[in-house]
A and B are shown apart, each in its own frame.
Chain A
Amino acid sequence: MGQPTAVRTIRQPWAILLWTAISILGASAVGGIALSRGETINSLWFIVAAVCVYAIGYRFYSAFIAAKVLVLDPTRATPAERFNDGRDFVPTNKWVVFGHHFAAIAGPGPLIGPTLAAQFGYLPGTLWILIGAVLGGCVQDFVTLFFSTRRNGRSLGQMARDELGPIGGIAALIGVMMIMVILIAVLGLVVVNAMKHSPWATSTVAATIPIAILIGLYMRNVRPGRVLEGTLIGVTLLLLAVAGGGWIDHHPTLRVWFDYDGPTLALMIIAYGFVAAVAPVWLLLAPRDYLSTFMKIGTVIALAVAIVILRPDVQMPALTQFIDGTGPIFGGTLFPFVFITIACGAISGFHSLIASGTTPKLLANERDIRFIGYGAMMMESFVAIMAMIAATVLDPGVYFAINSPTGVVGATAAEAVAKISSWGFPVTVEQMELLAKEMGEESLFARTGGAPSLAVGMASIFSRAFGEGMLAMWYHFAIMFEALFILTTLDAGTRVGRFMLQDLLGNVVPALGRTSWYPSVLFTSACVVSAWGYFLYMGTIDPLGGINSLWPLFGISNQMLAAIALCVGTTILVKSGKLRYAWVTGLPLTWLVIITTSAAWEKLFSPEVRIGFLSHARDLADKLAAGALPPDKLASAPHLIFNDRLDAALTAFFLIATWVLVLDMLRVCYCAVRGHKHPPLSEAPHVPSRLVEDWVRD
């Protein structure tokens, strides 16, 4: 007792030997990936590099943070122990908390970001995922979880208000609402692009709704609370739905019912989002969440196993010519856009919302924070590495054909393959037709968004590892799996947005603040749904693919949230008299501010029409005025111009909010160091833990 977790000094010779071996292996794997040119490289090197980097990061850096920077104290009672109510606050086994935390933080983000960033080649994304996670993302999750635990599980917004003052609090609150809107819109767009003109995918995704409702009713009325039973039935039904989708796809009349274009599907998703947000949670959201969590974890494990069994070769070069900013999937140079495109998997601000509030209420002991905060983010980063592998084992020509929007490569298949082949990534119309046929799709051209190319990558890996000839099944399984938890995020996000809006409006009109008053529920849900619905719909009619403008916006907003979390963390470190360790959060914060500022600046002011929102608006307006637009684009042009200006305004907001927060943090830190007046630390007082170790930790 009494001794805080200390960095165990390595004395045993075998331990020195082991860690030296891991370091050498890791260094050669990373070096091999970085220096390999020309020849293809085996994906096993990615796995080895990742595992070694994580092992070293966890063993040494997280131990240093735990012992020296945060000084975890195992003798201190956690909120779960002090407020144990058997439900909300419960001291829980650390593996169970790890499972909860990982399931909560890992969504579709780490699968999509790396897939899109693969347009730069495999190297920049891979290095950023590894380094960003170990020095940035894991640290952010770790410190946020720790500081929230020391503050009775307070949320990030509350901590920002307590530690920085009202300005920080308001920036955090509005930031979270904005990011929610952008996040849902972009995820909705990913699903729409996966379902467009695909009766198989659309019918399978549609079937997930009645299946979830059925399971909801089962778990509420037939066998209340039997979660595992219900989930097992649901997963079986989902697999049947994938097979049933294939049957519908081959049925001449039924397939027409599920064949829609992008904008129509967007309207359906918007309608669905509204209904899901006002329906009771037990009916749709909760059962779907059980299903998607099981699917997600099962598929991620299966993918890891398949990659290790198969060890496919990576076909994409280390770097492509698109690092100069001319990439077809999204415009923008390597710096800063690779760091914006891959947010989840390297550093994701959204995690700080889970790490504050939800997870701290379950911790049995402060010592577990290192494993859960740092460790779960490492796992998510590993998921991102696997997504990178799945994207880069595809033939690069195929990868670009699937992901390039028609506005860039041309509307017909012949135009697209000619353009992509001219970049040095040979691909033929026959090859794409054969692939589409194998996957059970009409066409795989211009399926921007990452989900279809990831599904093609996963399907080819799965079918080679677990059974040849099932390509179409695996493809639609992958689409269903992605759509399942994207729709969960969509429901859950809309609901959170609604709660926040109700909270905000409640200050003005008290009745609107009552979360159970139905008119208020309908009104605020409609507000939130129309906000993201607008961006989603505009994304589907954008000839540049929508992802081109929405994904960077999402990346910037997510990194802004991470900056808020790191600002709070740095402030607390400085106020606790740990100025000399403030670099632990200060360095990743500085990096985030650099990348978000330069990315936001380019999105605002770049003269290149595919990068700068304002120059794109100007270009369109000029063409419109000169009558140079083809008649089919005439109608949408004014909307696109307005949308560009709105995107620019949002970017400017994110930029300003980040800087206001950083300056506010510097002010508070300066006051703390100089001994001027500043908000005091809001840490809960020390209460010794009375839990008997063996009992809790079992």
Chain B
Amino acid sequence: MNNVYWWHKLWSGLRQVSGDDAYERYLAHWQERHAHEDRQPLDRKRFFKAEQARKWNGVRRCC
């Protein structure tokens, strides 16, 4: 039980650091904040496109 818990934590941490779960987090945020609005959330592909464009618009890497 405890072991499973830690592996799960490690895995979700890894997904979060790498941005693997970015779309899920976006959906959760959307449900929480914008669900009542008369709009649809972005689909996975369009979200990822927008996300990459946003991420690379500035200083992201150092020497």
Residue B17 at the chain A interface, CB threshold 8 Å: yes
Q: CB of B59 within 8 A of chain A?
A: yes
Asked if A351 and B20 sit within 8 Å, CB to CB, the answer is no
Q: A653: CB under 8 A from chain B?
A: no
Chain A residue contacts of B33, Cβ below 8 A = 84, 86
Write the chain B residue with the least CB distance to A516.
Answer: B53
Cα separation A88 to B14 with both chains bound (whole Å): 19
* Nearest chain B CB to A496 CB, angstrom units: 5
| A226 within 8 A of partner (CB) | yes
B23 nearest CB across to chain A (Å): 5
Min Cβ gap B49→A in Å is: 7
B52 and A228 contacting across the interface, CB-CB below 8 Å: no
| B3 contacts A by Cβ under 8 Å | no
Which of chain A's residues have a CB closer than 8 A to the CB of B58?
357-358, 496, 499
Of the stretches A100-108, A582-590, A610-618, the one at the interface is: A100-108
Alpha-carbon distance A84/B26, docked complex (angstroms): 11
Binds B, one of A90-98, A594-602, A677-685: A90-98
B63 contact from A108, A282, A285, Cβ within 8 A: A108
B56 and A492 form a contact (CB under 8 A)? yes
Chain B residues contacting A285 (CB-CB under 8 Å) are 56
Instruction: For A283, give the chain B residue with the smallest CB separation.
Output: B52
Q: Are B62 and A105 in contact (CB under 8 A)?
A: yes
CA A104 – CA B62 in complex, angstroms? Answer: 6
B12-34: CB near A (< 8 Å → 1, else 0) gives 01111111101101101110010
**Residues of chain A within 8 A of B57, CB atoms compared:** 499, 515
Q: Which residues of A463-504 are within 8 A (CB) of B?
A: 485, 488-489, 492-493, 495-496, 499
Question: For residue B20, which residues in chain A have a CB less than 8 angstroms away from its CB?
Answer: 225-228
Taking the closest CB of chain A, its distance from the CB of B46, in whole angstroms, is 9
Please tell me which one of the listed residues A93, A351, A489 contacts residue B16 in the complex, with CB atoms under 8 A apart.
A93
* Contact residues in A for B55 (Cβ distance below 8 Å): 281, 286
Residue of B17, B28, B63 near A183 (CB, 8 A) is: B63
CA distance A44 to B5 in the complex (A): 35
Chain A nearest CB, measured from B24 CB (Å): 10
Inside 8 A of A249's CB, which chain B residues have their CB?
Answer: none
Neighbour of B44 across the interface among A100, A224, A348, CB < 8 A: A224
Interface of A is mostly: helix
Asked if A109 and B62 make an inter-chain contact with CB atoms under 8 angstroms apart, the answer reads: yes
B45 at the interface (CB under 8 A from A): yes
Residues of A contacting B36 in the complex (Cβ-Cβ under 8 angstroms): none
Q: Cβ of A496 and Cβ of B29 under 8 Å apart?
A: no
Complex Cα spacing A492 to B56, Å: 8
Choose from A106, A289, A554 the contact partner of B62 (Cβ within 8 Å).
A106
Q: Does the CB pair A225–B23 fall under 8 Å?
A: yes
Tell me the bound Cα distance from A228 to B19 in angstroms: 8
How many residues of A are in contact with the other chain, CB < 8 A? 53
Cβ-neighbour of A289 out of B22, B47, B61 (below 8 A): B61
Pick from B16, B53, B60: contact of A492, CB under 8 Å:
B60
Q: Are B29 and A489 in contact (CB under 8 A)?
A: no
B31 to chain A, nearest CB (A): 10
Given the known interface contacts A86-B26, A495-B56, the answer about A227 and B61 at a Cβ–Cβ threshold of 8 Å is no
Complex partner residue of B17 from A100, A107, A344, CB under 8 angstroms: A100
Residues of A within 8 A of B29 (CB): 84-87, 90
Give Cα distance in the complex from A338 to B60, angstroms. 28
Which of B14, B26, B53, B63 makes the CB contact (< 8 A) with A187? B63
The CA of A220 and the CA of B53, in the complex, are separated in Å by 12
B39 vs chain A, min Cβ distance (A): 14
In A200-258, which residues have CB < 8 Å from any B CB?
Answer: 219-220, 224-228, 231
A99 within 8 A of B: yes
A86-B30, A353-B59 are contacts. A227–B13 as well, Cβ < 8 Å?
no
Residue A462 lies at the interface, judged by CB distance under 8 Å to chain B: no
- The residues of B that contact A220 with a CB separation of less than 8 Å are 45, 48-49
A282→B46 CA distance, assembly (Å): 12
Asked if B30 contacts A227 (CB within 8 A), the reply is: no
Taking the nearest CB of chain B, how far is it from the CB of A61, in angstroms? 23
A183 to chain B, nearest CB (A): 5
Task: Tell whether A54 is near chain B: CB-to-CB under 8 Å.
Answer: no
Q: Does chain B have a CB within 8 A of A330?
A: no
Interface string of A285-303 (1 = CB under 8 A from B): 1100110000000000000
Q: Which residues of A contact B23 (CB under 8 A)?
A: 225
Q: Is A654 an interface residue (CB 8 A)?
A: no
A292 to B10, CA, bound (A): 21
- In the complex, residue of chain A having the shortest beta-carbon distance to the beta carbon of B55: A286
- Report whether B62 and A224 are in contact in the complex, using a CB–CB cutoff of 8 Å: no
Chain B nearest CB from A646 CB (Å) reads 21
Contact check, A344 vs B63: say whether CB atoms are below 8 A apart.
yes
> A281 touching B52 by the CB < 8 A rule?
yes
Closest A residue by C-beta to B61 = A492
A354 to B61, CA, bound (A): 8
Does A558 belong to the interface (CB within 8 Å)? yes
- Residues of chain B within 8 A (CB-CB) of A350 are 62-63
CB contact under 8 A between A96 and B16, given known A108-B63, A492-B56: yes
Q: By the criterion CB–CB under 8 Å, are A219 and B48 in contact?
A: yes
Nearest residue (CB) in B for A85 is B29
Chain B residues whose C-beta falls within 8 Å of the C-beta of A187 in the assembled complex:
63
Selected contact of A88 from candidates B30, B45, B47, B54, CB within 8 Å: B54
> Contact mask A447-459 → B, CB, 8 Å, 1/0?
0000000000000
Contact partners of B49 in chain A: CB under 8 A: 220, 282
CA distance A492 to B28 in the complex (A): 31
Complex CA–CA separation, A489 to B62 (angstroms): 7
B59 CB to closest chain A CB (Å) equals 4
Kindly provide the distance from the CB of B35 to the nearest chain A CB, expressed in whole angstroms: 12
Q: How far is the CA of A450 from the CA of B26 in the complex (A)?
A: 43
CA distance A99 to B15 in the complex (A): 12
- Pair A227/B19 contact, Cβ less than 8 Å: yes
- CB pair B44–A225 under 8 Å, yes or no, is yes
| Least CB separation from B56: chain A residue | A281
> B17 near A351 (CB under 8 angstroms)?
no
Chain B residue nearest to A297 (CB atoms) is B17
Q: List 5 A-B contacts (CB under 8 A).
A: A84-B29, A88-B54, A183-B63, A225-B45, A348-B62
Task: Please name 4 further chain A to chain B contacts, defined as beta carbons within 8 Å, in addition to the given A99-B17, A496-B59, sorted by A numbering.
Answer: A90-B25, A92-B16, A183-B63, A285-B56
Closest 6 CB pairs of A and B: A86-B29, A109-B63, A225-B48, A99-B17, A281-B56, A224-B45
Instruction: List residues of A whose CB falls within 8 A of some B CB.
Output: 84-88, 90, 92-93, 95-96, 99-100, 104-109, 183, 187, 219-220, 224-228, 231, 281-282, 285-286, 289-290, 344, 348, 350-351, 353-354, 357-358, 485, 488-489, 492-493, 495-496, 499, 515, 554, 558
B residues with a Cβ closer than 8 A to A are 13-20, 22-23, 25-26, 28-30, 33, 44-45, 47-49, 51-63
